[in-house]
Every structure is written in structure tokens, then in C-alpha cells.
Amino acid sequence: MIKGIFNRSMIIGLILIGAVVFLALAAPWLAPHEPQKTNFDQRLLSPSSEYPFGTDHLGRCILSRVLFAARISLFIGASVIGISFIAGTLIGSMSAYAGGIVDETVMRFVDGFLAFPSMFIALAIAGIFKGNMAGLIIALSIVEWTAYARVSRGSVLAVKNMDYIAVSRMMGAKAPYILRHHILPNITSPLLVISTLGMGNVILAAAGLSFLGLGVSSAPEWGMMVNEGRLFIQSAPHVMFFPGIFIVITVMGFNFLGDGLRDIFDPRDTKQRWRLF
């Protein structure tokens, strides 16, 4: 039964993501110290039984900060993907279903967004809302929604002229009903795949913006912690290593999960792709 549902990439991704989510949710109970509490007498300590990940340049427990930072990163990623998914899917699907001048106008608008380097747009918008989580979410959502618009448009174009859609029209169904009940349920597979892969990209982008000083500044965040640790990379490499490895694990988890979902939804070579071992 498992062989027909999961594959190796998906299992690895679920394990990695599940571990990070568990640590994030259990952070208040697992964190040995207050994440924001400073202690200058304990600056840059190496990992020990009291401080399993060591301390940073202000004497703060790195393990506690990493655990609470996981909450921030996952929340930002989920928020951006949720906003981008809803906005991009609605715009792309309605554009494709309407067709004609509406579709051309909307797609030229999307192309205009894609003409600019996405990170430059995110940097500009995040710079306006510097240090604000809502600003960071807005900046990354504006960058991400275009992918969902293009994928949903292509998927709707592929199914909107099929027989069951024509029958629904002849029975008097209106466009909103057809989109909601007949088209959108049949185009979720590619959108689910890019959402999973996009989650890792968003977390990485958020960490990159925080590393540049344009992310969340009022709470622990992985990118900001890496930025703080770069000044002590020779004397105290653990300050930079642990938040960095959590970024890697989380992004790898979503990439593995996305690859696994893509293989499952790909109709080609199904017998080989759905094998767990």
C-alpha cells in the first residue's frame, strides 16, 4: 500500500519537514533558555551541556534562538505561499478561462513582472518595510505569485475545452461555478508541486533578505543569525553553523517533498517512480 502512495524522496522530505515543524511547535518546551536573554559573561561559548549549540556574541543561547527562529521562517514561508497560491491561481485561471483581450492583457502584466529580476523587486519592497515581518511577506508574495498565475493559466487552457466542461456549459453552469467545481480541482497537482518547492525557495529568500538586514529584526531569524555569526566565523564558527544547517535541512526537506510529489503526479514511468525501495 505504501508503495502506491509514497516514494523515497517524499518519505525523506516528510521526515525532515516533520522534524523541523515539531521543533518549531515545541520550542517553548525544548528551548533551554530565553532566546532573547543576553549574558555578556557567557559570550561565544562553545557547545556544552548547558548550551548545546553554544552562545552568540551577546551570550544568548543559540539552540533556543534556532528553535524559535524556525517558527518565524515557517510562518513566513506558509504565509507567502498561501497568498501567492490564492492570488496567482485566481488571476491565471480567470484569465485563461476568459481568453481573448482579457487573457492577453493579464499575461502582459505578468510578463512585466517577470521582466525584472525577482530579487531586486523583493529587495526594493523589503527595504521600504525594513525590519517588518509583514513587509517581508508582502515583498516575497509580490515576487512569487507570477509562477502560480502562469502554471494555472496553462493548466486551464489545457482543460477548459474538454467535453465535460462543454457539457457543464450546455447545462447552464456559469463561469464561476465551472472554475470552482470542474477546473480548479483538476489543476491542483502542478500547483501543489510548485507550492512545495516554492516553500523552500521562500524560506531561503527570507533568510537571504534577513542576512542583508532587510528581514525580521525583532525576533530570532535564521538569516539574521547567520549574518551575526559571520563576524566570528574563525573564533566561534558554531554561531554561524547551526542556523545555517537548519536552513539547509528545511530547504532540502521541501525540495525532496516537491520532487516526490512531482514524480507521483507525473504519468510517465509510473511503475518505477512510485517505488519506495
Give the pLDDT of residue 277: 34
Burial state string for 258-267 with b = 16 or more CB within 10 A and e = fewer than 16: bbbbbbbeee
How far apart are alpha carbons 118 and 139 in whole angstroms? 10
Mean pLDDT lowest among 127-141, 166-180, 207-221:
166-180
Task: Write the DSSP symbol of residue 42.
Answer: G
Average model confidence (pLDDT) across the chain: 84
Least confident of 29-33, 99-103, 161-165, 268-272: 268-272
Q: How would residue 253 be classed by pLDDT, with cut points 50, 70 and 90?
A: very high
Where would I find the H helices in the chain?
8-25, 27-30, 62-98, 100-114, 118-128, 133-159, 163-170, 175-178, 188-211, 222-229, 238-265, 270-273
Note the helical H segments in 36-98: 62-98
Q: What is the mean pLDDT of residues 201-209?
A: 91
Buried b / exposed e over 81-105, threshold 16 CB at 10 Å, is bebbbebbbbbbbbbbbeeeeebee
Using 50, 70 and 90 to split pLDDT, how confident is the model at 213?
A: confident
Average pLDDT over residues 162-166: 72
Tell me the mean pLDDT in the region 248-257: 94
Minimum mean pLDDT among 84-93, 97-106, 238-247: which range?
A: 97-106
pLDDT for res 77? 93
Give the number of other CB atoms < 10 A from CB of residue 115: 7
The pLDDT value given to residue 160: 74
Task: Give the residue among 3, 80, 1, 16 at the shortest CA–CA distance from 263.
Answer: 3
Residue range 103-124, pLDDT digits in tens? 888 888 888 877 777 777 788 8
In whole angstroms, give the CA distance from residue 200 to residue 124: 21
Residue 219: is its pLDDT beyond 80? yes
Does 270 score more than 50 pLDDT? no
* Residue with the three cell numbers 528545511: 250
> What pLDDT was estimated at residue 256?
93
Q: Is residue 130 over pLDDT 90?
A: no
pLDDT greater than 80 at residue 81? yes
Altogether, the residues listed in the chain come to a count of: 277
> Poorest-confidence range of 165-174, 196-205, 216-225?
165-174
- Could you tell me what percent of the chain has a pLDDT over 90? 35
How far apart are the C-alpha atoms of 73 and 127, rounded to whole Å? 18
pLDDT of 17-60, one tens digit each?
Answer: 999 999 999 999 999 999 988 888 889 999 999 999 999 989 99
Tell me the pLDDT band of 274, cut-offs 50, 70 and 90. very low
Q: How confident is the model at residue 273 (pLDDT cuts 50, 70, 90)?
A: very low
Share of the chain above pLDDT 70, in %: 92
CA 85 to chain centre: 11
Cα–Cα distance between 68 and 60 in angstroms, integer?
Answer: 13
